[in-house]
Structure 1
Amino acid sequence: MLQTKIQYLGHSSFLVNFGGKKLLFDPFISGNPMASGIKIDEIEADYIFISHGHGDHMADAEAIAKQTGALIISNYEIMGWFEQKGLKGHGMNIGGKLSLDGFTFKNVIAIHSSVLPDGTYGGNPMGFVVWNDTNCFYYAGDTALTLDMQLLPKICPPLDFAILPIGDYFTMGYEDAVIAADFIECSKIIGCHFDSFPPIKIDHHAAKAAFSSADKELILLNVGKEVLV
């Protein structure tokens, strides 16, 4: 198994170098004070995955797609909204999968809400499972804990790691994320959607202890930092 390089860009935004392709997830940088050290015009991306329409997950998608030529991957409604801005990609729906450039991804359910910045209907939120011949990971997007997560080991390859929201209030908290890790049969979790705003600030020690007591690892990255998994 080859290691995957992941850079944390703050909140729920990650740049994942996967099999030589740069996959950018939920870019929210310019509006996030914690990501002030990240320069949007230096980001390279081949694909931009957008889990839902909220501004804290897609604020910089248009700018980055225009500067890089990256294709956008999202639901049908969000992709239609971007197509009106001259951008290209794949507008899909939950349950669908697609193979591109040596990797495959599957759109899976996320329990949340979705509306675009101008008030347009944002379609159904989703997460993504991404894999190639050697590696597989799950980006959950914004979601509550759901029994549907138990389906992932049945319909996707075994996970090397998963990116789960842990901040509570708007998504599941770290206590529920421990259960989610059981459901998806994954012991290495990277946390997201925490600390960016006062309602989602967490106790890092308590969160890591909760995972450790369940024989799992919780990785909490500082903004801009990279990790090999």
Structure 2
Amino acid sequence: MNISYHGHSVVKVQIGDKTILIDPFLTGNSLTDLSADTEQPDVILLTHGHNDHVGDTVALAAKNDAVVVAPVEAADYLSKQGVTNTVPLGLGGTYDLGFAKVKFVQAFHSSSYTDEDGVVHYMGVAGGILLFAEGLTIYHAGDTALFGDMELIGRRHPIDVAFLPIGGHFTMDPVDAAHAVSLIKPKIAVPVHYDTFPPIKVDVNDFVSHVKDAKVQVLQAGGQVQLNA
């Protein structure tokens, strides 16, 4: 398995000959190294419906006939935009991809999509994603505030790699995210969702210095998680 980070909240997971993209905000993302013109995902996973997470989902799904797993209302909206293979999941729901399993868990955040005409569409509840494959468990927290049941998530499903937002303003800040690590207890913690826009510019070292319960890997766009580090 190859797990890599690509700026903002974009995560790519390659399992054998299958490619999963999580929150594929590529076009307009100044921090990513990926292009919507060249990516070929088999599966797209969405934590919630904000534009900077849905990103290029419609175009990528159409070009690659990708399966899109998303919160129920987000999946419904995307199906109306021409995405032909959507899987709507509610919180607590699990879906078997055949080569991996996906489970949606709680997050504390809003979720809406603003289309090109400025119309705002409700996209259901925001969530986090648990991805189970090859004996590993990956947790992408999506956009979220700190909440106590993160401890339950980590206890119920011991986490190997956790991607946690640290940018503050819209999500946890570095100190809250570090406390989240103490609740989740992942083996590896990777900070995401920071520095993309002025409101979420932070010093990532504030996160690193406060984490006491996991190995932190700060990745640049294209950086791979070192599972055995």
**TM, length-normalised to structure 2:** 0.91
Correspondence for 1:113: 110
Partner Cα separation in structure 2 for residue 153 and residue 215 of structure 1: 13
SS at match of 2:180: helix
Deviations 1:117-159 (A, max 9, x none): 2311110000111113511110100000011212213432x21
Does residue 74 in structure 1 map to residue 106 in structure 2?
Answer: no
* 8 Å CA contact 1:47, 1:71 repeated in 2: yes
Of 215-224 and 135-144, more deviation after overlay is shown by 215-224
Sequence identity percentage: 35
- Correspondence for 1:86 among 82, 88, 96: 82
Give how far 1:179 is off: 1.5
Q: Does the 8 Å CA contact 2:177/2:207 hold for their aligned counterparts? A: no
2:70·2:88 contact (CA, 8 Å) conserved in 1? yes
**In 2: Cα distance, 1:187 partner to 1:133 partner:** 16
**Aligned letter for 2:156?**
I
Distance 1:78 1:59 in 2: 13
Whole-angstrom distance in 2 between the partners of 1:137 and 1:40: 24
Q: Which residue of 2 aligns with 1:10?
A: 7
Report the alpha carbon displacement of residue 6 of structure 1 after superposing the two structures with TM.
Answer: 1.9
One-letter code aligned to 2:220: N
1:186 maps to which residue?
186
> How many angstroms apart in 2 are the aligned matches of 1:23 and 1:48?
6
* Structure 1 residue runs of 4 or more that deviate by more than 4 Å after TM superposition: none
- Which residue of structure 2 lines up, in the alignment, with residue 132 of structure 1? 133
Kindly provide the amino acid, as one letter, of the partner of residue 26 in structure 2. Answer: I
Change in Cα spacing, 1:222 to 1:153, as seen in structure 2 (3 Å) is closer
List alignment gaps of at least 5 residues for structure 2: none
Secondary structure at the counterpart of residue 225 of structure 2: strand
Secondary structure of the structure 2 residue equivalent to 1:38: coil
RMSD: 1.6
Aligned partners of 1:154 and 1:187: how far apart in 2? 13
- Alpha-carbon separation, structure 1, partners of 2:223 and 2:112: 30
Q: Please report the TM-score for the alignment, with normalisation by the length of structure 1.
A: 0.91
Question: For 1:84-134, what per-residue CA distance to the aligned partner results, in whole angstroms no more than 9, with x for missing partners?
Answer: 122112011101112122221211011000111231111000011111351
| 1:225 aligned onto 2:223 | yes
Alpha-carbon contact 1:41-1:67 (below 8 Å) kept: no
Paired position in structure 2 for 1:209: 209
Task: Tell me: CA distance 1:78–1:92, structure 2 relative to 1, closer, same or farther (3 Å).
Answer: same
Q: Contact between 1:55 and 1:116, CA under 8 Å: does it hold in 2?
A: yes
Q: How far apart are the structure 1 equivalents of 2:209 and 2:74?
A: 38
Residue 99 in structure 1 maps to residue 96 in structure 2: yes
